């Protein structure tokens, strides 16, 4: 009986192959996407899209409200003038000449956040 078990175990191991490509290391997740190079941001489904953009110093960014409900653009930095509430159409914001990341949000809908990298 013992011989048969040993033979079965040997056959099972042989059928599985003797080598494995698993190294025990998993691939890390991809890095988060960087800011999109654009000057247009859409407000839709209670979100800014794209959420993070990159522009040149002094660029004019257009925010278009496609939700049909009131939103605003409020920057954390006093260096950037945001917008008042608007429920249709578009508003433009002129970015400063100073490089950096400028965070913004909608004060009406706290989950709406975004950022603009001036570079």
Q: Residue 113: count other Cβ atoms within 10 Å of its Cβ.
A: 15
Confidence of residue 11 (pLDDT cuts 50, 70, 90): very low
Q: What is the mean pLDDT of residues 6-15?
A: 47
Q: What is the pLDDT of residues 61-73, one digit of tens each?
A: 999 999 999 999 9
Give me the pLDDT at residue 13, please: 45
Q: What b/e readout covers 1-26, taking b as 16+ CB neighbours within 10 angstroms?
A: eeeeeeeeeeeeeeeeeeeeeeeeee
Give me the pLDDT at residue 77, please: 97
For residue 49, the surrounding DSSP H or E stretch is strand 47-49
| pTM, 2 dp | 0.73
Q: What is the pLDDT of residues 72-103, one digit of tens each?
A: 999 999 999 999 999 999 999 999 999 999 99
Q: What is the pLDDT of residues 16-61, one digit of tens each?
A: 454 445 456 677 777 667 899 999 999 999 999 999 999 999 999 9
Handedness of CA 35, 41, 43, 49 (dihedral sign): negative
């Amino acid at each position: 009986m013992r011989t048969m078990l040993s033979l079965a175990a040997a056959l099972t191991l042989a059928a599985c192959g003797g080598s494995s490509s698993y190294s025990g290391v998993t691939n890390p997740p991809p890095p988060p996407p960087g800011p999109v190079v654009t000057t247009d941001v859409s407000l839709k489904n209670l979100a800014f899209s794209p959420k993070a953009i990159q522009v040149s110093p002094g660029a004019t960014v257009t925010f278009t409200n496609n939700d049909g409900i009131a939103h605003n653009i409020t920057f954390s930095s006093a260096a950037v003038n945001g917008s008042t509430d608007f429920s249709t159409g578009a508003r433009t914001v002129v970015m400063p000449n100073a490089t950096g990341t400028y965070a913004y949000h909608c004060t009406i809908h706290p989950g709406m956040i975004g950022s603009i990298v001036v570079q």
